[in-house]
Amino acid sequence: MNENNSDFREWLKLLDECKYAKLKEEINEENAANMAEFFEEVPEEKRLLVFRLLTKDNAADVFSYMDSDMQEDILNSVTDNEVHTIINELSVDDAVDVLGELPANVITKILKNVSEDRRKLINVFLNYPDDSAGSIMTIEFMELRWDFTVGKAMELIRKTGVDKETIYSCYVVDSRRKLIGMVSLRTLLLSKDETLVSDIMEDDVIFVRTLDDQEDIAKIFKKYNLIALPVVDNEQRLVGIITVDDIVDVIEEENTEDIEKMSALLPSEDEYLKTGVFHLAKNRIVWLLVLMISGTLSSAIISGYNEVLSSSVLLAAFIPILMDTGGNAGSQASTLIIRGMAVGDIELDDVVSVIWKEIRVGIICGAVLGVINFFRIMLLGETPIAVNIIVSVSLAITVVISKTIGCMLPMLAKKLRFDPAIMAGPLITTVVDSISLIVFFNMARVFIL
């Protein structure tokens, strides 16, 4: 796919040689996503020049694909008049996305430049909570009245369709703008002109409300294989639609959030390279502290078995292997359960079969690891067989317990309405550490002392 680079090189050459007419012609034919990428390559002092070579339509389009830093640069360097044009050409939801990322003083400058209607609308959008249907929907949708004929509907689509986010799903409303049905452009095309829209629409239409959470909305898209979904307000009136390309971003965002939580990070929506050092440190230190303080427990346990350890300092050498294996075994189980619940494969009702499964998996893994560990220690040769047996059996028991706890904690979290993802690896490691140490030292006490 990367034939772009040769284009980019050619354009940069045109730019160097000041062949602007030729450059203008070429870049206005390129698609917007690639053009936004090209701007990353353009030397900073020439960006504005290149941006001004774009036609009005293209400029707004390319602008919407740029990252927020680049957008801010552009908005800061163009005239008020140009700001006005860009923001007015953007669809309302894109404009809101742009504004959401900008500092307050730039927002003020921009809102000063847009028409009052549009300013009001943008303000409504800016007030929807993050992650809600309202914040990701667009208002550029195709709305049909229930008493339209297909012919009239097609005429309306031809006339106004060019400004809509999608015309492939059209939404049918009654005289009070309540959503009562959906009809696809495909159905309209395959129907006769005189047919009534209300006769061919699907009246069992799936919809969400403005305050619904984007994660739930993504699940609905996946379940029904949708390309668009209508959004209604409290009075069931149609206020917007969400399209599947926005949902693709939501899914990536939600997955990133889960992965971050599973690694004991506070989730962040900012790109790594654009996040400051202090902000990154802040997102990490909370969990590091919690886990470190809870590690006090492990220390207390080891201190408590001081007399066992003094009688055989050798035992200390096996603490890491027990802890690490237990931690890894536990986080394997918790990861599978957390992910299974996130994608909807595992429900709370499955708790008994999950635990029973993990106990059996734990016994198999524990037995195999215990036996291999026994031979590993034997081959290394320096450890008394009694200690070897204690270590290997403790290891096997630890694996079984870790797997069982690893599957239970995320389900417990879900039951208590916490996010299961925070119960992943790091927390389980801490819990499992204590248990594996207690098992280990008690076995040692019984068999060595």
Burial (0-12, 13-18, 19+ Cβ within 10 Å), 121? middle
| Calpha distance 388→15 (Å, rounded) | 73
Site for a second copy in 179-198 (CB under 8 A): 185-186, 189-190
Site for a second copy in 78-117 (CB under 8 A): none
| Contact assessment for residue 41 and residue 13, using Cβ atoms and an 8 Å cutoff | no
Q: Which is nearer to a second copy, 83 or 157 (CB)?
A: 157
Binding segment for a second copy among 14-22, 26-34, 99-107, 112-120 (CB under 8 A)? 26-34
* Residue 369 touching a second copy (CB under 8 A): yes
Q: What is the smallest separation between the CB atom of 278 and a second copy, expressed in angstroms?
A: 7
Q: Which is nearer to a second copy, 372 or 446 (CB)?
A: 372
CB neighbours of 372 closer than 8 A, spacing ≥ 6? none
* Residue 258 touching a second copy (CB under 8 A): yes
The SS3 call for residue 291 is helix
Q: What is the smallest separation between the CB atom of 434 and a second copy, expressed in angstroms?
A: 9
Q: Residues 74, 92, 241, 262: which binds a second copy (CB under 8 A)?
A: 262
Q: Which is nearer to a second copy, 112 or 158 (CB)?
A: 158
Q: Which is nearer to a second copy, 117 or 417 (CB)?
A: 417
Q: What is the smallest separation between the CB atom of 183 and a second copy, expressed in angstroms?
A: 14
Site for a second copy in 143-182 (CB under 8 A): 154, 157-158, 161-162, 167-168
* Residue 252 touching a second copy (CB under 8 A): yes
Q: Residues 220, 351, 435, 448: which binds a second copy (CB under 8 A)?
A: 220
- Stated length of the chain: 449
Q: What is the smallest separation between the CB atom of 243 and a second copy, expressed in angstroms?
A: 8
Neighbouring C-alpha atoms within 13 Å toward the C-beta of 386: 10
* Residue 385 touching a second copy (CB under 8 A): no
Site for a second copy in 288-347 (CB under 8 A): 288-289, 291-293, 295-296, 298-300, 302-303, 306, 309-310, 313-314, 316-321, 323-325, 327-329, 331-332, 335-337, 339-340, 343, 345-346
Give, as one character, the DSSP assignment of residue 424: S
C-alpha distance across the termini of the chain, in Å: 68
In terms of Cα–Cα distance, which of 283, 285, 401, 409 is closest to 335?
409
Whose tokens are 């204690």? That residue is 390
* Residue 440 touching a second copy (CB under 8 A): no
- A 10 A CB-CB count for 284 gives 13
* Residue 389 touching a second copy (CB under 8 A): no
Q: Residues 21, 348, 368, 385: which binds a second copy (CB under 8 A)?
A: 368
Sheet with 208-209, edge to edge strand ranges:
208-209, 228-232, 238-243
Q: Which is nearer to a second copy, 122 or 361 (CB)?
A: 361
Q: Which is nearer to a second copy, 63 or 82 (CB)?
A: 63
Q: What is the smallest separation between the CB atom of 247 and a second copy, expressed in angstroms?
A: 7
Long-range contacts of the stretch 299-306 (C-beta < 8 A, 24+): 301/434, 301/437, 301/438, 301/441, 302/437, 302/441, 305/437, 305/441, 305/444, 305/445
Q: Which is nearer to a second copy, 110 or 427 (CB)?
A: 427
Torsion of CA 147, 150, 156, 161, to 10 degrees: 120
| Structural tokens at position 55 | 């036609």
Q: What is the smallest separation between the CB atom of 396 and a second copy, expressed in angstroms?
A: 12
Q: Which is nearer to a second copy, 114 or 153 (CB)?
A: 153
The SS3 call for residue 144 is strand
Q: What is the smallest separation between the CB atom of 329 and a second copy, expressed in angstroms?
A: 6
Question: Buried (b) or exposed (e) across 309-323, using 16+ Cβ within 10 A?
Answer: beeeeebeebbebbb
Build a one-symbol-per-residue string for 395-414: x at contacts with a second copy by CB under 8 A, - elsewhere: x---x---------------
Binding segment for a second copy among 11-19, 68-76, 172-180, 219-227 (CB under 8 A)? 219-227
* Residue 260 touching a second copy (CB under 8 A): yes
DSSP lists the bridge partners of residue 242 as: 229
In terms of Cα–Cα distance, which of 28, 87, 34, 24 is closest to 65?
34
* DSSP string covering 295-360: HHHHHHHHHHTHHHHHH-GGGGGGHHHHHHHHHHHHHHHHHHHHHHHHTTS--GGGHHHHHHHHHH
Q: What is the smallest separation between the CB atom of 207 and a second copy, expressed in angstroms?
A: 9
Site for a second copy in 33-52 (CB under 8 A): 33
